[in-house]
Structures are given as structure tokens and as C-alpha cells.
Structure 1
Amino acid sequence: MSEKENVVTKDYKDRLFQFIFGQADHKDWTLSLYNAVNDSDYADPEAIEFNTIKEALYLGMHNDVSFIIAQEMNLYEHQSTYNPNMPLRQMQYVSGAYEAYVKKHKLNKYGVTQVMLPTPHLIVFYNGAREVDDCVILNLSDAFSEDTRDTSDIQVRVKMLNINAGRNKKLMEQCRPLFEYAWVMDTSRRYKLEGHEDPVDETIRIMPMDFVIRDFIMAHREEVKDMLLTEYNEAASHELFQLEGERIGREITSVRDIRKIMEKMNYSAEEAMDLLDVPRELREKYAKEL
């Protein structure tokens, strides 16, 4: 393993998907994912040009992984909870990516000559608890009024691929790193639900020796543990407060919800209220009722 592979930047601390598929040292994994999604056979990893949006440059906006290859701009996101608003988010991401592309290539968007841009492809890799089909198309127009959506001058389409265990088998077979990533996420989640004392450590311990991502995971064991625990807690908090039907989202309904977070995640009252974004003016009242 090269010395470069042992260097972890702060940019990759928050999502395991980004940590694996957004690494300049492992463009071969990214290319494998691209080929599997598009049923293509590109062979040169160096054809990948990363253009992932960084939070510091875009006022709090950042995406998981984006890159350009063969005049296509690919924006890949991972979601552990079902989110119908991904077309809106991806529209914001691709706008930022195009802004950076125009600036980098010194393109004149005010000129009389047609500016040529890479074709966008927006993909979400989903492994949440909610049952969805192998492939779901999410449309920005679903956010518009039914009376006017057909007249919209903008449409954004996002393809959501289910990467839970047993789903999209052809995709998983064509991209070994994706199969292994999905295995890590599924196994750690299952151990957590079964009450294992340290589900992440146990997942890493039993990871098959022939996994191509194994050495990389082992080299960054502590960072990976932190990522998985963070992702699990975030997903659990969202799942607790998702409502089916017209309103699907996180809601604070009572002190009982704070107690649920405290019990399920072993949080203090203050930490639970932070996670739930409880307004400051209500915290003292809720604390007295706990």
C-alpha cells in the first residue's frame, strides 16, 4: 500500500461512500462503479476527473462524489433513508458543478457561441429500511402543483438504485467495490439491530479476506468506525420520525420522542434535543418532563 493511501483528509470524514468512491488513489473503484451503472467498459481510471463540490467553497453545500468522464458529468449520492427531495438537491449540486466547470475552462456563457457542457447523470444509491424497487425514478416535477407541473420549463430526473442485500444483483456483480461497500453497511446495521456491543468492530473483524476494499478499510479503521457510527445514528434518527403518506419527514411530537432517542442511542437529554433540533425556548420545559 502506498504512503499516499495512508493519508486521510478532513474532506472525507463524513460518508463512507465518499471515502471509498471519491479517492484519487482508487479511481479504479470509481470507474468500476461508473461502468456498472452505465453498462460500459472504460478501462483507464485516469480518465476520471473528480469535481466533487466542497463545502468550504459553496457555503455549506457539498455532495458525495461527482466526476467527469467521456463528456459526462456524474453526480453520485448515497442515501440510507428514502428522500423524494433528491431531485432538488441534485439540481443544486449540478448547478454548483457547472459553475465550477465554466470557471475552470474559462467559458463565456454571455457570448454568441454555444458553450458545450458535459451531459449530467444523477444517481442515488439507496440502502434504507423502506422497501423500494431496484430502480426508482425521482422527478423534480413531483414537487410542483399537479395543476401546473406539466407546464414546467424545468425537469430534473434522478435515478435511485437500491443497493440493499439481494437487490440489483447484476449491478453488484459488475462492481465488486459496490457489493463490498453494501455488505459493510448491511452487516453493521444488522449487528446493531441485534444488539451487538460493538457492531462496527465486529463487521470489520469478519470482513472476508478477499474483499478488494479490505486493506483500505483496515488502514483507516478508526475513521471508518466513526463514519459508520455517524451514518447509523443519522439514519436511525430519520427513521424514527418518518411518516408515511403525504408527509414523510422528521417531526417532534412530544417528550416521548426525546426519550426514544436517549434510549436507542444512549444520548443525554441535551444531545437528543440537539439531534432533534428542539428550539431553545422549549428545552427547559421538556427537560423538566423527562
Structure 2
Amino acid sequence: MAKEKGMRHSGKDTVFRDMFSKKKYLIQMYRALHPEDSTITKADLKIITLQSILLNGIYNDLGFMVRGNQLMILVEAQSTWSPNIVIRALIYLMSTYQDYFTEKAIQLYGSKKVDMPKPELYVIYTGNQGSHPNVLSLKDEFFPNTDCCIEAKVKIIYLRDGDDIISQYIGFCRIFNEQVALYGRSLKAAKETIKICRDKNLLKEYLSERAKEVEGIMLTLFDQEHIWNVERKSIRAEAFKEGIRQGISQGISQGISQGKLAMLIELVRDGSLSLPAAAKKANLDEAMFKAKMAASL
């Protein structure tokens, strides 16, 4: 992902994508989700993970088909709770269906009812469950007590008893967090995470096979995150300086206002501040703020 689009992924969920792109681990995930299916084989699974579906580079973590066109499973790994999870899942689902219909040359404007795979949406949540629900409903979360014309439901998977690969992945994430807290985003944190997980039999086979690759994944993302943070601070400082420079010729008040607006725009772009909150701080309506964002590109 280009750094100017912002950093969405951490070491954990990039490891997630790397591991489950391999069918010997993917089939373990499927069996954890569907323990009743004793006849599944690797040949029954086809990975269809989306690579880039939105302008800001958002893509889902994992998508796969089961037994041809019978079942389509989309999975996202998350360490931070947000009700917007269900919106993202719906976007991933519709984009995946669009790819499916295009690939199969299926005409949606014909009179014949089309065949389509049944969807299942999951989020593997690596934080504590607390009061979070087991199923996140679009209607219940955003349109309660209304006659909403659309619905989507995402099953949330939390840490549970057992040693299935999903539970192991959540355990890996928690150890990762502990080591980053101790050693920062460093090679030491990456090595300790791998060592401890292997000792505890968490993702042991995967980490034994790909220890160097996993270290590289973590360090690359640590570096990218550091570079982006440095650049973001530089952008903010330069925006403020530009506002002051403009203030020399246009009045200090206007210059500071421009600098403030530039900083607010950058905060929205990197996800640190919501658009409504930024517009309010800039004393602009949302439409005008969006226009100024577009003009600043």
C-alpha cells in the first residue's frame, strides 16, 4: 500500500494475510469455522481475497470460495473495535460479488434468477470481548427500530478455549502486543514474538517455516509506519508554516486559519479526525470542507 494513502495494516494482520494465503492453513481455518464438515479438502477451497477496492487502498484480509460456487467466506482480522466493521464487510461482500458476476459473465439484467454463492461474514477480533456482541448487525447498529431495506450480519470470533488455528492467531496477536509494549516496534519485538509463540505452540509450524519472512513483514511495516509518522509530522509543520507565510501578505489571522485548515485536512486524510469533526473545527459545513480537501490535492 502506498504510504501516502496511510497505514491501515499492522504486522499482525499482514501475517494473517500471508498465513491464510496458503491452503494448508486456510483449510484449518475453514474447519474451525465449520467443524461439522469432515469431507472438505484443499482442492475445495479457492482464494478470492480482494486486493484493492476503494480509492484509499482498503482491502479485505481474506476471501475464499468453498466447493465451487456453494459458499463464499469473507474474513477480516481486527484489534480495535468499531461498529463500522459491518459496513466494511458489506462493501467487501458487494465488491466480491461484482467480481464473481464479471468473471462468470452473469447478466443481472436478464429475467432469469442468477445462481450465487451463499455468503458468510466473519471478523476475528483479537481484543477482549467485553460487552461486544457475537453478531454485529447493520440494521440493529445503525437503523434500530426502523423498517430498513438492507441488512448484513457479521459473526465476531473472540478468543476461545481450544487450539484451533483461529485461537492460535489471536494468541499470537496478544503476545505481539505484549512484546511491542516491552521493546517497541523493533526486531527484538518480532524475534521475541516468534520465539514465545513457538514455545507455546501457537502457529508453531507456520512460524518455524517462515520465521525470517515474518520478521521481514513486521520490520517492513514498522519502517513504513515510522516513515509515515515522520512525513505526517513534516506535512503538518509545513502546512502551519505555509499558513504563517500567507499571513504575512494576507494578514496573520487568515494565515493561521489557512494553516489550521491544512492541518485539519491532513488529520482527516490520515484517519486521525472524522470529517464532521474537522468541518466543525474549521467553521465550515461538510460539503465546503470536502471541496477544500479536493482543491488541496
1:282 is aligned to 260
Q: What is the TM-score when the length of structure 1 is the normalising length?
A: 0.66
What is residue 81 of structure 1 aligned with on the other side?
A: 80
Q: Deviations over 1:197-249 (max 9, x none)?
A: 73222112344266121233314133332377489x7xxxxxxxxxxxxxxxx
> In the alignment, which of 179, 203, 206 is matched to residue 191 of structure 1?
179
Percent of aligned positions that are identical: 22
Match of 1:169 in 2: 161
> Would the aligned equivalents of 1:48 and 1:69 in 2 still touch at CA under 8 Å?
yes
1:95 counterpart residue number: 94
Once the two structures are superposed, the pairs formed by residues 137-286 of structure 1 within 5 Å of their partners are: 137-148=135-146, 151-163=147-159, 168-170=160-162, 173=163, 175=164, 177-195=165-183, 198-208=188-198, 211-226=204-219, 229=222, 270-271=232-233, 281-282=259-260
What is the identity, as a one-letter code, of the residue corresponding to 1:199? A
d(CA) in 1 for partners of 2:104, 2:16: 28
* AA aligned opposite 1:37: L
Local SS of the residue matching 1:122: strand
Please identify which structure carries the higher helix content.
2
Q: Provide structure 1 residue ranges, at least 5 long, that are not aligned to the other structure.
A: 1-10, 234-261
| Alignment partner, residue 49 of structure 2 | 52
Q: 1:280 to 1:17 in 2, by over 3 A?
A: farther
- Aligned AA for 1:282? K
C-alpha separation in 2, matches of 1:34 and 1:132:
26
Query: SS at 2:114's partner residue?
Result: coil
TM-score, length basis structure 2: 0.64
What does the per-residue CA deviation read over 1:39-86, in whole Å, with 9 as the maximum and x for residues that have no partner?
22244112111111111x654341110001031100000001001111
CA-to-partner distance for each residue in 1:120-160, whole Å, 9 max, x for gaps?
00000001256356x61101113434452xx1121100011
Give the whole-Å Cα distance in 1 for the aligned partners of 2:180 and 2:95: 37
Aligned mates of 1:132, 1:215 — CA distance in 2: 36
**1:81-127 deviations in whole A, cap 9, x for unaligned?**
00111111111111010011111111121112110100000000001
| Change beyond 3 A, Cα 1:224–1:131 | farther
> How many residue pairs align between the two structures?
227
1:280 Cα offset (Å): 7.9
- 1:201 and 1:272 map into 2 onto residues whose CA distance is 31
User: Structure 2 CA distance, aligned partners of 1:58 and 1:123?
Assistant: 20
Alignment pair present for 1:67 and 2:59: no
Q: Which amino acid aligns with 1:50?
A: I
Mapping of residues 105-144 of structure 1, within 5 Å: 105-128=104-127, 131-132=130-131, 136-144=134-142
2:181 is aligned with what amino acid?
L
Aligned partner of residue 119 in structure 2, secondary structure:
strand
- Between structure 1 and structure 2, the one with the greater Rg is 2
User: What is the Cα-based RMSD across aligned positions, in Å?
Assistant: 3.7
Give the letter aligned to residue 142 of structure 1.
D
Letter in 2 for 1:225: M
Aligned pair in 2 of structure 1 residues 229, 284: CA closer, same or farther (>3 Å)? Answer: same
The alpha-carbon distance between structure 1 residues 80 and 47, as it changes in their structure 2 partners (threshold 3 A), is same
Q: Distance in 2 between matches of 1:227 and 1:90?
A: 27
Shift in CA distance, 285/114, structure 1 to aligned 2, threshold 3 Å: closer
* Structure 2 CA distance for aligned equivalents of residues 38 and 124 of structure 1: 15
The runs of 5 or more residues in structure 2 that have no matched partner are 1-8, 241-256, 265-297
